[in-house]
Structure 1
Amino acid sequence: MGVVEGDTLSQTPTYDACIIGSGAAGGVVAKELCEGGAKVIMLEAGREVPPGKFLSHKWPYELPYRGLRGEKQAPFYQGGVSTSIRYEDCDSVSVDRIRVLGGRTVHWNAVVLRYAQRDFKGWSADGIEEDWPLTYDELEPYYERIEQMIGVCGQDDGLEIVPAGKHYLPPLPWRCSEHILHRATNGMGIPLISVRKAVLTTVYDSRPPCHYCGHCMSGCDVGALFNSAVAMLPKAQRTGNFTLRQNALAREILVDREGLARGVSFVDTQAKREQEVKARVVVVCCATVESARLLLNSRSPRHPNGLANSNGVVGRYLHGHLGGGVDIFLKELEGAPPFNQDGATDHVYIPRYNHLAGEKDYAGGWGLQVNFSSYMFPNHASRIGGYGVAYKERVRKMQPGYLMLGAFGKTEARPENYVTVEPHQVDENGISIPVVHFRFSENDFALWRDKNRSLMEICSNLKGEVFPDFGEAPGGFASHEVGTIRMGKNPRTSVLNGFCQAREVKNLFVTDGSCFTSSSEKNPTLTIMALSLRAADYIKEQRRRGEL
């Protein structure tokens, strides 16, 4: 795939664009710029794990800890990425920093939901945070293009809170437990719809349909689940304009005398050597915490506080999703003969509904993803009492009725929550590590409490044994952290304009989740990709005009 190794980069010319990161954002930008004629180099800190090497289909007995310590996903977290981070003055949150070609699209649940009109209007709609510098109507054409690019199953359910596209693949079939759930939610006036996922239900884009193994979050070895390394980067490569450098961990974005980006300094993590690549445009797609880390580590006389950070906003406004859910073992299915429920993890979705019940004392809401936990392990086994034959019989009898509801709730974007870098603590490559500071707000707590109450109300309308997983306080971020290099209308409280372009460094763009002004209850990936596509179009137009 146009791979460059070793010191050969010293002989390369100046590229039109250097893209840092190969996930949802980086893959879109690379494909679009290469197809537009730009010479592009991509720096990826990890390396490829070929689908044939995935551990998705390993049974628990084939894994050293029976799969309970993340063994299936471990190949995607290369180097010291999981440990080279610190949490300080923090509530119960964690950040998912992955290091592999394809980024988080290598293992993800692939739920792709459009933000609604009101999700772009935090201040106008709810009186908190700020409005985005763009509207749903401006982003809608890019949502449509991305959905056609990646292949999305689902349907238009006519709900304003989850705007729909025009080109969906057939939806996933519902399980027995999901039909039972629908009976309960329908009686409560709560919508239950077919989920929209970047999972193929028919042959599409030369990729095969899902075979319903249920291992989406451990990696899809056939490419039915969208993966940037499978579905985007090969298209960039086919243009002849694409160069990929793996094991290339960006240390610093380099600038010229005018303070504009001129290239990237990176560490070859295999050879342990520092190298540079020159580019006319730099596009940062490293994910929320890593992108902030990179800009904060990019200090120079023109940018002493970090690149594009004269207002001190880089790293601030960190937020994401709060979680918590319930496992329910339905009496109606108890004791049924074993049957295959694996599917493609969640097949249905409960979109936000709290706004339908009048005014609340908080802003925002939550959505419920259903059955994204694996059926391979009896989740109730450690929660019920007993031992011996009777205990085992009870575990087996309950298992067919398994139903899982997982909540994803909005958290507030606040400058008090931030990422910084620790100059006196470095990773194995000598780069200052990120330090996360995060506290949930009163709004977050109020939403969390109402979400828990509502979940238990739904459970009360289902006949079964309920095991809540709420904890004593909210937790986050469910791999959905956003907001550290935000776009905005106000230059004092934002870094980027509405095209993901840094105001202080016009040839620097940031298109991953860090660019979000605020978040909603919806998974961020589709919006990340739509914003990346919009930014790529803008870069192409600016290059055509000679502005970049």
Structure 2
Amino acid sequence: MSFEIKSSGEAYDVIIVGSGAGGGMASKILSEAGLSVAVLEAGGDFDPAKDEDRTQLRPPWESPRRGSGTRIRPFGDFDQAIGGWDIEGEPYTNVKGTQFDWFRSRMLGGRTNHWGRISLRFGPNDFKRSSIDGMGDDWPIGYDDVKPYYDKVDKLIGVFGSKEGIYNEPDGFFLPPPKPRLHEMFIMKGAKKANMPVIPGRLSMLTRPINNERGVCFFCNQCNRACQAYADFSSGTVLIKPAMKKGKVELYTNAMVRAVTTDDTGKATGVSYVSKIDMKEYKLKSRVVVLGASACESSRIMLNSKSKSHPNGIGNSSGVVGKYLHDSTGADRMGILPDLIDRERYNEDGVGGMHVYTPWWLDNKKLDFARGYHIEYWGGMSMPSYGIGFSMDTMRKYLKDEFGNPSPNGGYGEGLKKDIRRSYGSMVGMSGRGESIPRETNYCEIDPNVVDKFGIPVLRFHYKWSDQEIKQAKHMQDTFEEILTNSGAVLLGQKPGADTMYGLATPGRIIHEVGTTRMGNNPATSVLNSNSQAHDCKNLFVVDAGPFVSQADKNPTWTILALSWRTSDFIISELKKKNI
């Protein structure tokens, strides 16, 4: 059952704030244990199989904006990410001299409707980085604590890949991976010359059936549009909607949570939220509150949840809520493969993401920066979109005529069309996604002077990259150039230099922020214990990326899912013991 407004005073066993990876997994596990669950989502309902929501398999010219992005759909009209870095009426601020771009998702399933579905486990080293390089802190748990839940997530959701036996890139239960596409074969050749590994990607798309509720990938390459066959993973279609059918789960859409409510003892009693429908405030009651609104949004809710028992915000006696915020590093480079100009045309769509990737392969003891990065590869002949004619002035000199001279075609009209057809499928690029160092000086806090349109105080960000991340970006650019050159590609654009921090993306732009409600054994230096339970409030839990002590050079979603399942099992056990 789904609600947009519910009367104040409704009571549940568990209230879950957020419907993304963490909230979705918690809704499934807790409801299947027989608990009554309310899920609050700040955006609207969404089902990619419904015609009014469907964008998959629709040509760009059906878009009223010809595929162009808008304020609330920054990745394009046919990308299913509804939200973005700049949402009307929902501001955030940055202190002078710093910048953090905060992406919010406003739809059922949260950010699991916008991600590459790169589903990597953290490795044994990733939980103990401080012991290796002396920076940051170790997690209070290790890989062996999370491995059983990674296994469960693999089997429940499905992920393709290959067993490689790489110590810090743990293998899982894999479906068959798709074969490399032609541009990826060129990349593999270039990486091999540089002694870099390239292995099959690990993405959560079903290349084989795993249950009767979901279809199998038919390789349309449009996973960013959301799959009407439910063959790719998003929380709404794979976790929450099935949980609503099987268990006692009620979904509240367009519900902007203001705060966690508490009693005189400081125990959580539920949440208050503002309905976007009538702009009135409502309250729901529960025995347990689970926050999965995203690392920064959950911190905002906690910091705004002040009371006599929690004068600095619920769970914040340590003053650590919002601290140690960190995003993945990111940088890119692209080129054109002359050997693929005038290539034969055929369907090579594949999945909506990389068929191969490079895991981190080096020893940091021999480098001038800590941690590492993986490399994602892109290119090929997927459905053309508007804007494909970019860089044509640069590319035209490689589009030789029959006499070996640069293309004589002009940059418009019929000549431009000819050049685009000739060059289509010859572009190749790569993106590095790496680990940054968690620092107390990178954080979010409540801005004392700004509220959103719901009257809720907003976040203010403090964030700067350090030399560690900048040196890592330089290494990325050197590596990209080596791979592209070895592959036979001609580099496009100037190599980013020190003046641009070697093309290092603005913090927040990779949308992997973690660490704001970090777990730890010491309540004076952490927010949560090793089960993601608040030290200061035993019936409050956090299941998004906030509990992360460090990010790793992997995408965070698979670890969010595994930790949420682990925390949900703990909640069930504690309720049975009557400890909460």
Size of the aligned set, in residue pairs, is: 544
Give the letter for the 1:18 counterpart: I
Matched, 1:517 2:549: yes
Moved more, 368-377 or 169-178: 368-377
Per the alignment, residue 54 of structure 1 pairs with 54
Distance 1:60 1:90 in 2: 40
Pick aligned residue for 1:445 from 467, 470, 487: 470
- Counterparts of residues 74-473 of structure 1 (less than 5 Å): 76-77=82-83, 80=87, 83-89=90-96, 91=98, 93-165=100-172, 167-206=173-212, 207-356=214-363, 359-371=366-378, 376-377=384-385, 381-385=389-393, 387-388=411-412, 390-467=415-492, 470=496, 472-473=500-501
Distance 2:89 2:216 in 1: 32
Per the alignment, residue 77 of structure 2 pairs with 71
Moved more, 367-376 or 428-437: 367-376
Query: 1:153-196 CA distances to partner (integer Å, 9 max, x unpaired)?
Result: 1121121231011x211112210111121122123221111111
Distance 1:538 1:395 in 2: 56
Distance 2:136 2:223 in 1: 34
Moved more, 29-38 or 392-401: 392-401
Distance 1:467 1:156 in 2: 35
Q: Would the alpha carbon gap of residues 537 and 94 (structure 1) be closer, same or farther in structure 2, given more than 3 Å must change?
A: same
Give the letter for the 2:392 counterpart: I
Secondary structure in 2 aligned to 1:460? Answer: helix
Shift of 1:93: 4.2
Give the letter for the 1:448 counterpart: A
Q: Conserved in 2, the CA contact under 8 Å of 1:41 and 1:243?
A: yes
Q: Would the alpha carbon gap of residues 90 and 21 (structure 1) be closer, same or farther in structure 2, given more than 3 Å must change?
A: farther
Shift of 1:402: 2.1
Distance 1:223 1:90 in 2: 44
Q: Would the alpha carbon gap of residues 522 and 89 (structure 1) be closer, same or farther in structure 2, given more than 3 Å must change?
A: farther
Q: Conserved in 1, the CA contact under 8 Å of 2:67 and 2:386?
A: no
Per the alignment, residue 43 of structure 1 pairs with 40
Per the alignment, residue 483 of structure 1 pairs with 515
Give the letter for the 2:192 counterpart: N
Matched, 1:501 2:509: no
Shift of 1:104: 1.1
Q: Conserved in 2, the CA contact under 8 Å of 1:260 and 1:506?
A: yes
Give the letter for the 2:157 counterpart: I
Per the alignment, residue 24 of structure 1 pairs with 21
Moved more, 371-380 or 440-449: 371-380
Q: Conserved in 2, the CA contact under 8 Å of 1:81 and 1:98?
A: no
Distance 1:228 1:484 in 2: 22
Per the alignment, residue 396 of structure 2 pairs with none
Shift of 1:352: 3.3
Query: 1:458-483 CA distances to partner (integer Å, 9 max, x unpaired)?
Result: 11201122226857122143111111
Percent identity for Structure 1 against Structure 2: 33
Q: Conserved in 1, the CA contact under 8 Å of 2:485 and 2:491?
A: no
Distance 2:227 2:271 in 1: 32
Per the alignment, residue 398 of structure 2 pairs with none
Q: Conserved in 2, the CA contact under 8 Å of 1:18 and 1:263?
A: yes
Q: Would the alpha carbon gap of residues 244 and 304 (structure 1) be closer, same or farther in structure 2, given more than 3 Å must change?
A: same
Distance 1:45 1:397 in 2: 45
Query: 1:248-278 CA distances to partner (integer Å, 9 max, x unpaired)?
Result: 1110101111111111001111111101011
Per the alignment, residue 401 of structure 2 pairs with none
Distance 2:38 2:238 in 1: 18
Q: Would the alpha carbon gap of residues 54 and 451 (structure 1) be closer, same or farther in structure 2, given more than 3 Å must change?
A: same
Unaligned runs of 5+ in 2: 70-75, 394-409
Question: Please, what is the CA RMSD of the aligned residues?
Answer: 2.2
Shift of 1:379: 6.8
TM superposition score normalised by structure 2:
0.89
Give the letter for the 1:376 counterpart: P
Q: Would the alpha carbon gap of residues 238 and 384 (structure 1) be closer, same or farther in structure 2, given more than 3 Å must change?
A: closer
Distance 2:341 2:238 in 1: 41
Distance 1:85 1:180 in 2: 43
Q: Would the alpha carbon gap of residues 240 and 61 (structure 1) be closer, same or farther in structure 2, given more than 3 Å must change?
A: closer
Distance 2:451 2:58 in 1: 35
Q: Would the alpha carbon gap of residues 441 and 515 (structure 1) be closer, same or farther in structure 2, given more than 3 Å must change?
A: same
Secondary structure in 2 aligned to 1:210? Answer: coil
Secondary structure in 2 aligned to 1:514? Answer: coil
Secondary structure in 2 aligned to 1:355? Answer: coil
Distance 1:457 1:92 in 2: 31
Q: Conserved in 2, the CA contact under 8 Å of 1:194 and 1:348?
A: yes
Q: Would the alpha carbon gap of residues 338 and 467 (structure 1) be closer, same or farther in structure 2, given more than 3 Å must change?
A: same
